[in-house]
Structures are given as structure tokens and as C-alpha cells.
Amino acid sequence: MIKGKFITVVLPAYNASPTLERTYKEIPGDLVDHVLLVDDGSRDNTVELARQLGIDTIISHAENHGYGHNQKTCYQKALELNSDIIIMLHPDYQYTPALIPSMCYLIANDVYPVVFGSRILGKGALKGGMPRYKYFFNRVLTLVQNLLMNQKLSEYHTGYRAYSRKVLESINFLDNSDDFIFDNEVVAQIFMQQYQIAEITCPTLYTEESSSISFSSSVRYGLGVLGVSLKYLICKSGIYRPALFKSSPASAGTPPRR
């Protein structure tokens, strides 16, 4: 805990057995109160290994529902556990768990309600092995998104994120996509609620075990990202309020805090 804040790390997993142990063992146990792994229909022994490692809570989807759906399960369960700070960390070891304390302290001290680990700040992305075409499209998409949404993020596409409970309770993330576009929908919802997002430099490690999407999926993702940004622009202009920005919180029905 930090200042009495209950901290949960969520691990959205899919075929993560090669890197799960290394990721889990580097999570700072003196700070993190709970670790939650949600397995999205893995074909390997991710769930068995998670049990062997003694991860606190393990949820297994019988089928693969998608990255966004996995996060929905992660955040719903984290809120049910009465978590005050929720950190999403990919178990493929692309992002270092060593940044968890820094991210948590910013939220626990009410400096920022959301913190992203950015691969683009500094030179961590290319140095860590990010494919150059991914780096290029990351930069182009981020530039366009910043223009459309009037923001100044260095990266919209990181999978390393920390949220305060209040933020997750105030956005309707359950209505978001079950696919990779989920992350960008969450960013748009956060900005629509007028929350600020802090970014810290995050070293990156790309290996054969790192999660990735195909080129065709990347194209669909890019088009989806632009669609989300346009919806944000339309909503901000007052022309129309897309369902993405419904005011009802996604956590309706979440048990009351202890």
C-alpha cells in the first residue's frame, strides 16, 4: 500500500508462459497488495504456471475473447477487490515491472489520476527492438490523434497503464471493443471526463515472446484509432454524442467500498 491505497496489478495474459515467471517475480511485492491474472483462452500452460507461481487471483476464459475483453475482466475484478490503484502490466515482459512504484506514487499522492509508461519518450522503443514500421506508424497515429483530440501525449498505444479507481468507475469501459482498439477508446473516455494523463519514460524489450499483431490487424487497428479520435472530435464539437461517451459509469453494480 501507499498512503492506505490498495494496489492491484492486473496481467492480461495469452500464451504468456515463456515470460510470465520473469514478469511476476519482478513485481515489487513490498508495494503491490494483489496480483490478478486473466488468461484469455491460452493454448499453452499459462494458467498452470500462474498457479505454481502463487499468483493471488487467476481467472481463465474458456475461449479467446480478445485483448479488450480480457481487460474488461481484469478491471471488473480489480474493482470488486476494492483496489484503489490498478496497474495493467503485460506478462510478456515487454515493459519492466520496475516502474510500478513510480506510477503508483503519482496516483497515490493525487498528482495525476492516470499514468502511462511511454516507449516513445527518450529512445527506448527503437533501442529495445521495436520494429521500425511499428515505430513509424506509432508516431504518425499519435500525431494525428493529438491534432484531432487537442492533446499532447507522446504515445496513445502503450500497454503499460496505471489508473485510479475513480477513473475506471467514471468511464463505461464495459461498452468498449473486445479488440485492441479498447485501449484507445479508454484514452478518449478519460480525456472526455477531463482527467489528465501523466507519462513516464519506459524502456522496452521486444523479443520473440513479445505479444504482437499482424500487419493486416495493425492496419485495422490504425483505422479504428482514427475512428475513435474522430468520434471524440465530433462529441467535443457538440454535433453528436457517440455511445462511446455515455455518461453512465461502466462500474454500475460494483460492490460498495469496505
What is the pLDDT averaged over residues 174-189? 94
Q: What is the edge-to-edge ordering of all strands in the sheet holding 57-61?
A: 57-61, 34-40, 7-13, 85-88, 161-164, 114-118, 197-201
What backbone torsions phi and psi does residue 133 show, to the nearest 5 degrees?
-70, -35
Task: Determine the straight-line distance between the first and last CA of the chain, rounded to whole angstroms.
Answer: 16
91 half-sphere exposure, CB direction, 13 A CA radius: 30
Picking from 6-20, 124-138, 163-177, 236-250, which range would have the lowest pLDDT averaged per residue? 124-138
**Global pTM value:** 0.87
What is the pLDDT averaged over residues 34-53? 96
- Contact (Cβ atoms closer than 8 angstroms) between residue 97 and residue 19: no
**pLDDT one-digit tens code per residue, 82-123:** 999 999 999 999 899 999 999 999 999 999 999 999 988 876
Task: Please give the angle made by the CA atoms of 153, 156 and 157, to the nearest 5 degrees.
Answer: 145
* Predicted confidence band of residue 79 (pLDDT cuts 50, 70, 90): very high
pLDDT of the residue at 209: 53
**pLDDT one-digit tens code per residue, 217-249:** 777 888 999 999 999 999 998 888 888 888 644
Residue 143: how many other CB atoms lie within 10 Å: 10
pLDDT of the residue at 162: 98
* Predicted confidence band of residue 68 (pLDDT cuts 50, 70, 90): very high
pLDDT of the residue at 204: 78
CATH placement of domain 7-245? 3.90.550.10
| CA dist., res. 47 & res. 20, Å (int) | 10
Strands 161-164 and 7-13 turn out to be unpaired
- Contact (Cβ atoms closer than 8 angstroms) between residue 195 and residue 155: no
Those residues whose C-beta lies under 8 Å from the C-beta of residue 190, and which sit 6 or more positions away, are 114, 167, 171, 197
pLDDT of the residue at 83: 97
pLDDT of the residue at 252: 41
In 3D space, the residue among 40, 44, 33 whose CA is nearest the CA of residue 78 turns out to be: 33
Residue 85: how many other CB atoms lie within 10 Å: 27
pLDDT of the residue at 258: 35
Q: Please state, in angstroms and as integers, the Cα–Cα distance from residue 230 to each residue in 103, 172, 225, 235, following that order.
A: 29, 18, 9, 9
DSSP code for 14: S
| CA dist., res. 227 & res. 244, Å (int) | 11
Those residues whose C-beta lies under 8 Å from the C-beta of residue 132, and which sit 6 or more positions away, are 126
DSSP code for 61: E
**pLDDT reading at 168 higher than 90:** yes
Domain boundaries, the chain: 7-245
| CA dist., res. 254 & res. 252, Å (int) | 6
**pLDDT one-digit tens code per residue, 45-62:** 999 999 999 999 999 999
What's CA 247's distance to the chain center, in Å? 21
